[in-house]
Each structure stands twice: as structure tokens, then as C-alpha cells.
């Protein structure tokens, strides 16, 4: 499945403008035959927007979800995007996957919050593995810091995730995560990982870009620079099956030895 990675911070604070950016990217992605477009963490609203996070938060089935469902159907491709989700009095750092027919396929709430900003503005989610079937692949969702916990990604591997989609807001000086950790996560868990970042400065944060789609051989199929960019790479189920057959990591596990981890 051709996957489009939208490396952009959009227009922080403006849902309307960010929907326009997403629409334009979806049109470009669909023209290349992409089946999935992935946008960064909190793309709908912006990341470093302070108390506006709560003001702009929406339910998973809110107006913006409807707008993204419409553009996904119009362009004929699935869309995964980050947004602040309101559920009652709680606000979650969430990511949603909407299918090419406009169906809401999966909604994930970030389980591992990073830093004071996130702890001040969000509740943590408590469901580590969220998946959906898309174009012959099992797609899993995570957000940014979640992927830095090996237990999280291994849980997806054991649940059969083929393509792990990770909207992110990865900042300086942690660019080694994009450069080194993501390809290793893909290799050790025998999956594709699409890690899609913000760029530039927002408030106190400097986002470093470097979005990538890494394959099960640990090789980056595409790698962005430090600016706004729409890049493409393929998640190939044939390559994935062959890699899993050749790589013994998951078969050679000895879970009985790992009790001390929990």
C-alpha cells in the first residue's frame, strides 16, 4: 500500500486552515495512487497552543471527523491524523483512522504522555493496541512517545500489526528517535513503521521533521528532511511475509523468562 507522509505543522490554532492543508495533501497523495495519508500528532489544532487545546478539542465523531471523512471519500484514500479528543470532561491526545469510504475505522488515545505540557492538558489513554484492517494490511495506531516503549510496539507485533502508524511531535534534541530507533523498532518487531512528524518552532518546542517509513529489514523506505514535505513509500505485504519468514525474533521469544518486566 502506497503511504503518504505529511510532514507539516499546518497552521497552529486554526482547525479550518489545517483541514485545508489536509485536503490539499490528500489530493496530491491520491494522484500518486496512495491508499493512506498520515498527518502528525495534534495536526488538527496544532501542538503548542496552550489552553486552546481544551477549547478546540472535539469528540471522535465531531464536525472535523465528518469533514475528514468527506475529504477521504472525495479523494478515495484513508486518512490518519492527530487531534485533541474530548470525551465528557476529559481531553485525550488522540489519533483517528478514517477509511477511503469515510468510515471511522479506529481511534487511539496516547497512553504515554510526554513532559509537563501533555500531563497538564491531557488524560492518558489505557488501550495500548488499537488496529484496523486497511487494503490487506493490519494497521495499528500509536502516538509519538508511545513508540519509544519497546513493550508497546511488541504488543502490536504479537497482535499482528503489519503497519504501525505513528503521528508524532518529536522535538530537538531527540532526533535520534527518528534516525535510529524507528528503523530498529520496525526490524525487531517485523513490521512497517510510519513515523510522521511536525516541523519548525512552536512556542518552546522545535520540531525536527525527519519523518520516515521504515521496513521490516530496518531500512528507511523514505526519509524527510527538516522542512514541510509530502513523501511516499510502500508497505508491501509480500516483502513483509518474506521478512517474517526469514527473521526468527518473534518465533524465538521465551515469554516465560519475561515475567519480571511487569
The per-residue pLDDT for 100 is 98
- Cα dihedral: 159, 164, 165, 168 (round 10): 110
- DSSP letters along 159-211, please? TT-SEEEEE---BTT-THIIIIIHHHHHHHHTSEEEEE--EEEETTEEEE---
Query: 251 an active-site residue?
Result: no
Out of 41, 85, 118, 202, pick the active-site residue: 41
Query: 144 an active-site residue?
Result: yes
Model confidence pLDDT, tens digit, residues 46-57: 999 999 999 999
- DSSP letters along 79-134, please? EEEEEEEEETTEEEEEEEEE-TTS-EEEEEE-SS--HHHHHHH-BPP-----EEEE
Out of 58, 110, 118, 202, pick the active-site residue: 110
Out of 58, 85, 118, 144, pick the active-site residue: 144
Q: Is the dihedral of CA 25, 27, 31, 33 positive or negative?
A: positive
Model confidence pLDDT, tens digit, residues 26-37: 999 999 999 999
- Where residue 259 falls among pLDDT bands split at 50, 70, 90? confident
Model confidence pLDDT, tens digit, residues 199-222: 999 989 999 999 999 999 999 999
| In the chain, % of residues over pLDDT 90 | 98
- The DSSP secondary-structure symbol of 257 reads G
pLDDT over 80 (residue 262)? no
- The DSSP secondary-structure symbol of 236 reads -
pLDDT over 90 (residue 79)? yes
The pLDDT mean for the chain works out to 97
d(CA 142, CA 55): 24
The per-residue pLDDT for 82 is 98
As given in the structure block, the three cell numbers for residue 118 are 501533555
Q: Is 156 helix (H, G, I), strand (E, B) or coil?
A: helix
pLDDT over 90 (residue 261)? no
Taking a C-beta distance cutoff of 8 angstroms, is the pair 98, 61 a contact? no
- The DSSP secondary-structure symbol of 59 reads -
- Where residue 42 falls among pLDDT bands split at 50, 70, 90? very high
- Where residue 89 falls among pLDDT bands split at 50, 70, 90? very high
Query: 110 an active-site residue?
Result: yes
Amino acid at each position: 500500500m502506497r503511504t503518504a507522509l505529511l510532514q507539516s505543522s499546518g497552521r497552529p490554532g486554526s482547525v479550518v486552515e489545517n483541514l485545508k492543508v489536509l485536503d490539499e495533501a490528500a489530493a496530491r497523495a491520491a494522484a500518486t495512487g496512495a491508499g493512506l495519508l498520515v498527518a502528525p500528532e495534534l495536526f488538527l489544532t496544532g501542538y503548542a497552543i496552550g489552553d486552546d487545546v481544551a477549547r478546540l478539542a472535539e469528540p471522535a465523531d465531531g464536525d472535523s471527523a465528518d469533514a475528514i471523512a468527506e475529504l477521504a471519500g472525495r479523494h478515495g484514500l484513508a486518512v490518519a491524523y492527530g487531534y485533541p479528543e474530548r470525551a465528557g470532561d476529559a481531553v485525550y491526545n488522540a489519533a483517528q483512522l478514517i477509511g477511503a469510504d469515510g468510515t471511522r475505522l479506529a481511534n487511539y488515545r496516547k497512553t504515554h504522555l510526554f513532559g509537563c505540557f501533555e500531563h497538564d492538558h491531557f488524560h492518558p489513554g489505557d488501550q495500548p493496541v488499537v488496529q484496523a484492517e486497511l487494503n490487506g494490511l493490519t494497521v495499528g495506531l500509536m502516538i509519538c512517545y508511545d513508540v519509544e516503549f519497546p513493550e508497546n510496539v511488541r504488543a502490536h507485533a504479537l497482535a499482528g500489526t503489519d503497519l504501525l502508524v505513528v503521528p508524532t511531535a518529536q522535538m530537538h534534541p531527540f532526533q535520534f528517535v527518528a534516525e535510529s530507533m524507528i528503523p530498529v523498532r520496525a526490524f525487531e518487531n517485523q513490521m512497517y513503521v510510519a513515523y510522521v512528524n511536525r516541523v519548525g518552532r512552536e512556542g518552546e518546542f522545535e520540531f525536527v521533521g525527519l519523518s520516515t517509513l521504515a521496513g521490516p529489514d530496518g531500512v528507511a523506505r523514505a526519509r524527510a528532511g527538516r522542512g514541510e514535505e509530502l513523501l511516499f513509500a510502500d508497505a508491501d505485504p509480500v516483502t513483509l511475509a518474506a521478512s517474517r519468514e526469514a527473521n526468527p525474533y518473534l518465533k524465538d521469544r521465551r515469554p516465560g523468562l519475561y515475567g519480571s518486566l511487569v
